[in-house]
Structure 1
Amino acid sequence: MCILMTRRYTAVAEIQVQKPNSDSLTLDSNAASPAGGDTDPNSASMNLETQATVLESPALAMKVIEDLHLEDTSAFKPHFTFTGWVNSLFSPPPPADPAGVALSAAPLRRDRLLKQFQENLEVKIIPGTRVIEVAFSSSDPNLAARVVNQLVASLVNYSFQSRRTVDTEASKFLESQLAEMKADSDALEQKAVKLQKQTGVVQVAGSGDGDGQGQAYSSTLDQLQKATAAVSQAHTNVILKGAIYEVVKSGDPETIMGLPSNTALAGAASGMSNDLAVISSLRTREATLNGQINELLAKFGPAYPKVDELKADLTAIQNSIKEEIQRMRDRARNEYVVAQQVESGAKQLYDAEKQRADEMNDKAVQYSMARQQADQSRSLYEKLQSRMKEAGVLEGFHSSNITVVSPALAPSAPSRPNIPLYLAGSLATGLLFGCIMAVVVDLMDSKIADIHGLESLMGEAPFGILPSFAAKKKGLRLSGHSFALPGREAIAALKDPHSAYVEALRALRTTLLSTRGGAPPQVLLVTSSTEGEGKSTLSSNLAVVLAQQGKRVLLVDADLRRPNLHVLFNSSLEVGLSTILAGQLSVDAMGQAFLQVEAVPGLDILLSGPIPAYSAELLGSSKMRQLLDLWRGYYDFIILDGAPVLPVTDSVVLSSQVDATLLVARYQSTQQQSLDLSLRTLRAQLGTNRHIGVVLNGVERTADAYYKYYGFSNSTYYTNTKRLGGGSEIS
C-alpha cells in the first residue's frame, strides 16, 4: 500500500505573533505608556486563534493561488477521485464555468482549487508560545515551500493594511463626534450648576477631607438634627411623667414616699419635694399618735378619756394626708398632660423638618448624578481630543506584529506515507481486532468456568470439585484373568491413591457420609447432562474409595444405551443388568454376572449387559425396584452409572428410585444452559424429597475456580507414590 501511494512533501514555516502594538488608535489611557499592550492571557490566546483563522481563510488562499499561478501547476491539476466519481453518478453535473473568465468568476474552478489548497494546508498553534506553525503538503517540495512563504507574506501584509484601515476609520469617526460631544458636555455642566443651587448645600472651602472640594453644610439638615433631639427628649419626659402619675394615682402613701429612692423617677419627681416633705411629716405624727393610743389602751383601756382625744387627732392627720395626696395627684396629672402636649409639638416640628430634608435629598441625588455625567462627558471629550491630535502622527508609524521566525524551505524527504506509522497502525489494528474477537468469543462462551456462576445457577454450592488428572495406562486383572489396558480412563483411586483427584474423591466421600438429616444415601445415581463429562470415571473411582473404607459397594453400569464400564474394566457385555431385567438371567443366578477386584475387597461390579431395545422401560420397571431393594440388604452403597440426562430419559426415570443423584459437569466443557436444563428436569421428577448434587469435574489445579473453592492450588501432600505393578488379583 505504501509503495502505491504518491510521495507528499511538507514545507513548514514558523511565525511569531507579538502583543498588539500600542500605536493603534484607542481610548485606553495605558495605550501610550511604554508597558502598554495586551496583558490579558485570554486576549492573547484569542489573538493567536484569530491569526490562525485568517491563515486558513479563503481570501488569503485565493490571493496565494493567484499570485503563484497555482492553477497552472501539475500539483493542482484536476485528478480522479472515487468520491467525486460516486457523486457524479447520483447528482446532476453543475453548470460549466464560462470560458476565459477570471478565477473569482468561475465557481467550479475556484471551489476545486480552494478545497485542494485547504486540504493540504495545516495551521497549528504551538501551546505555551506565541508561535504559529504553517505547513503545506505537495508532491513538489519547491512548490510547497513557495506556497507557505507566500501565505505568510500575505498574512503580514493583511495585518498591516487592516491596522491602518482601522486607525483611519477611527480618526474620521472621532472628527464627526467631537463637536456633538462638546455641546453635550457643556449642557450637562450647566444642569449640574443649576441643581446645586436648588439643593441649598453650601461648600465650605478649606474644611474638607483634602480632596479639594471642601465640606458640605446644610441648614435644613442642622434643623432636622435639632428637631430629632427635641422629639427624643419630649418622649422621654412623657414616659417619666406618666410613670409618676400612675404611682401617685394609686394613693398608697408607702409607694408615693418611695419615689425619691427610684433612680429612674427621682429626677422627674424633684418638683414634688415639698409635698413629699409634708406627707412625710404627717406620717410621722400619725405614727406617734398610733403609738400613744396603743400605750394608753394597754394601760387604761378604751374608756380612758385621753384615748378619744388622741383618736380625734389621728383622724384629722389621716384626712390631711389624703388631701395632700390628692393635691399631688392633680399636679402629676397636669404635668403629664403638659409633657404630652410638648411631645406633640416636637413631633410636628420634626415632621416638617424631615419633609424639607427629603426634598433637599432628592435634589441632591439629581445633582450628584448630573455632576457625575458632566465629569464623565468632559473626561471623554478631553481624551478623544488628545487622541485625535495623535492620530495624524500615528498613521505614519504603523508596523506589523507578525514576525517570521523560520521561513519555509524545500523538504528533502517526503512526509507521507509514514511507513513506521502505517506499520504501527496495522499492528495496533490487528491487536485491537484480536482483543475484540477474544471478548466476543468470551461473551458468547457459556461454558462453566466460574464457581460463583455455578452457585448462582444451582442456587447452592457444588457438592464437590474434582481436579483433572492424567490417566496412567497400567493393567488390572478381573475374575482371575488379566487385561492389559483399562480403556479410555484409568482407575486413579488404584493407580495414584495420593493424587489431588483421589483426595478430592475422599472429600466427596466424606461429604456423602456426613449428609445431614439421618443416614447417608445408600443408592447413588451418577449422571451428567451429556456424554463425555466424566460420570463413569467418577462412579468407578467413587466406588473404589468407598470400598477402601471397609464398605460393601456395588457398582452398576445403568447406562443401557452406550455403556462404558466394560471398556474401563476391559470386560465383555455377555451378561449384565439388561439380561437380569429382561428375565434372561434369574435373580438367584445373577451372582455369576458380578465382577470383583482383588485389590479392593468389598467392591462388586455389575456391567450393563447387551444393549436392549427399550432401556428406559426396563430401568423404570418393578423388577428394577425389586433388584434395588434386594441389593440394599447386601450392600452399604449402590452406585448406578446412569446415562446422560438430556439425550435420553433413562436417568430421569431411574432418579426416582435412588436416594441421591450426583450430576457431573465438566469444567470448561459443559454449557450452563445444559446444566440448568438437567437440574430443572431432575427437580421436576424428584421434587424436594431427594437430594441432587452437582460435581464439577476436570478442573485444572492452576485454574481460578479451583483456587476459589479450595483456597490453594498446590500441596506437597500430592506426591507420586509407587504404582501397582503387574495388576491386581481378582477372585
Structure 2
Amino acid sequence: MTFGTDRDRPGHHLKPVSSNGGQVTLYAPDASVMDDDDSIDLREYWRIITKRRSVILSVLATVLVATLVATLLMLPEYRATVTLQINPEAARILSYADFEPSASGSAGIQQFLTTQHGVLASRSLAEAVVIKHGLTDHPELTGELRQRSILAELRALTGLLTGALQSSGESRASDPAQPDEAAAQERRTRAATSRFRERIEVQPERNSQLVHVSFVSFDREFSAQMANAVAREYIESTMQRRFDAGSDAREFLQEQLHEMRIALERSDWELADFARRVRVSDLSANQEMARDGLRSLNDSLEMVRQELVRLAGWRELVQQGRIDHLDPVANSVTIAELQKRLLDAATEYASLSERFLDDYPTVAETLRRMELLRAEIAAERRRIADGILGRFETLRAQETALEQALAQREERIMALNEQAVQYNILRREHETNREMYDGLLQRMKEVGVAAGVQESNVAVIDAAQVPGGAFRPVLTKNLAIASLLGVMIGIGLALLLEFLDRTVRHAEDVERLVELPVMGLVPLVRAQGQDEEPHEVRIPERVLSHFSARRPDSAVSEAFRSLRTSLMFSTPEGMPRTLLVTSTSQGEGKSTSSVNLATVLAQNGSRVLLIDADLRRPSLHRDFGRPRSPGLTNSIAQFEQGTSLDRSSIHSTDVEGLSVMPAGHSTPKPTELLSSSRLSRVIAECREMFDYVIIDAPPILGLADAVVLSRMVGGVIVVVAAGRTGKENFRVAVRRLQQVQAPLLGVVLNRVDLNSPDYAYCSSEYYGYQEEPALPESPKLPVSKAS
C-alpha cells in the first residue's frame, strides 16, 4: 500500500501555520485552493452511477416495459386542423376602461390575440358546438369510446365497482322516483363539453395573425367536421359580442356617471371638514417641532446610557467587594497619600520592632497610627464606592424619565403623521374622483346611439380536411422518450440514494469535509463461512485488536505498516514520540487501531508503550488479558503524592517491545483527572522510558477527554469507520480539535470494503498482490499472566 505525497494525495491543500514545541507542524486549509471544491467533479458522478447502476437499469427496464405495453394498448387518433386569421380589434368605448381588449401597439395586439386563443379553447364555445350539433350522446364524448391504457382500464374497473356499490345502496335506501330528465341532460352536457374541450388544440403561428385550431378524434371524418364547426361557432360568437358591446355602452356610462357624481360630492365635503378640524396650515410646523424635540431627547438619553455603561462596571466591582479595582480608587490622590503615610509608619515600626517590644510606648504609638491610617484608607474607599452607587442610581432615574418623555414625544409625532396621511388620502381621493367624473362626462358625449352590425374580423384561411393517417401513438418516439426518462429517473434516484447516505465512505470525503490527509486505509475483515454483507460481519474484538500480531502477512497488517511509514514522514522531525488515537464516537475502531499500530511499531524494533486513557470504557486490559489496576489512574495518584512513576502500572505483553498501561481504578471525574498537570508528567516520564507512547483516547463527541489529551501529545490521529461515521459528526469532531490547536496529523479510514464500488479503483492496486486469509469464526488467543 502506498500513499501519494503530490496533488493526488488527500490533504494536498494543507499548508503549515504553526508548530507545537518543535515536534509537529500544524496544518490548515490553503485558502488559495479552497475554491476547487465548488467545481463539478464528473468522476464523482460517474462513481455514483457505476455504484448504483443496478437501480438505474431497473428503473429503465420498468419504464420501457410500461411504455411498450401502454403504446400497444392505445387506439389510433386522428387530428384535423383549420387555419384562421384574426385581425386585431380597434374599437373601444372608454379610454381607460374598455369593454373589448385594446389592440393598439405591438403589446396590445399580442394581448388581443392571446385573449382570442383563450376564447377558442373556452368552455362556452365548446358547449355551444356540442348543443348545436347534438353531440351529448356521441360515443367519444360519453366515454363509451376512449383511449385504452393500463391506468385507464384500472380507473374504469374501479369506477364500475364504485358505481355498482352506490347504485345498490341507493336502491335499498331510497324510494322509487321518477328521474329528473332535465338534471340528467345537464350532467350529460357538462360531461360531453369537458371531453370536447380536451380534444381541441389551439396553436398560434409565431409572428403572425394566423392560428391553427385542431380537433382530435378516433374517427378521421368526425375530426374534420368538428374542427370546422368550432371555427364557424367562433366567428358567429365574435360578431354577436361586437354587436352587444355598442348597445350596452350608453347604459353603462349613465350608471357610472351617476355614481361618480355622488362620490365626488361626498369627497368634497370630507376633505373640507377634515382640513378645518386639524388646521392643516399648522400641521407641517408642528411635525418639525416634534421631530426636533425627539432628536434632543434621543441625544440626552444616549449620553445618560453611555455614562450608565461606564458606571455599571464599577458598580459590579463594588457589589463584588473589589473596590481596589475601581479606577477612581486607583487614581485617588488622597488614598495614595494615606498609603504613603502608612508605608512610612510600617517602615518606622519595622525599625523599632528590632529594638523594642510592641508594648513600648513609641512602638505602640506607631501601631495605633498605622491602624488609623488603614481606617482612613478604608473610609475613603467606601466614600468613593458610595458615590459611584449614588451616581448610578441618579442616572437610572434620569434614564427612566427620558424614556418616558421620549415615548410621549413619539406618540405625538405618530399622531401628527396619522393626520397628515389621512389628509393626503382624502385629497388624492377627491382628485381621483374629479378626474374620473370629467372622463366619464366627456366619453358620454362621444358615444353614438347607432351601433350597426360590423363585419367580422375573423377569416377562414384553410378549412379542415379529412386526415390521411393517425398522428399518434408512435412506438419509436414513445420508446425513445421512455428511454431518456427512465435514465433520468434512474440517475436521479441514484443521486438521491447517495445524497441520503450521510456517512464517510472514502478518502475524498475526508478531504472535502476537513481538509486532512488520509494516512491509512484499513480493509474490512470478513469472517470465514459467512455470506452476510461486509457491514454485517461480527468479528470478536480481541481478534481484531491482535490482528497484526497473529497475521503479520495479512493485508490488514500491511495497512498498519503503511500507516507506520506515513507517520514516519508526517513531520519534518519524523513520527512524534507521543501519539493520541481517537475517533468521532464509540465503536469506530480506535482501540483496535491503537493496538495494531503499537504492534507494528514494536515489530520494527521500537520500545512502545500503549496507554489506555479511555477511563469511562477501558478495553485494553481485556484485549491483553491483564488486570485493570494498577494503571493510569494509579500513576497519576502517585504523582500527586510527590513520588515517581509507579512502574507496576506498566505491564508487558506477548509482543516483544510492546508494553501496556491499563486504565486503572475507575474515577468519578475522568475529565478533571486527565486535565491535571500530573498526567503531563506521567506522559513525560513514559516518553523517557520508551521510544513511542501511544494513547488510546475516548471519543471526541460528547466528552472533553480527547480534546484535553490532544494538547499533551506530539500528534493526533482520528480513526473513522467507513460507511458508519456520519459526515456532520466527523466535521464537528475535527473542528473541536482544531479549535484547541491540536497537532492533527491525519485520518485513518477503518473498515474499508475494497470490494465496494467506492474503492473499485484501488482494491487491486493496494491489496491485489496478496490474498487476504479468511478469519476463523471462533479463534482463541493465549492469555498471558500480568507482569
TM-score by length of structure 2 reads 0.40
Q: Higher Cα Rg: structure 1 or 2?
A: 1
TM-score by length of structure 1 reads 0.43
Greater relative contact order structure (CA < 8 Å, 6+ sep)? 2
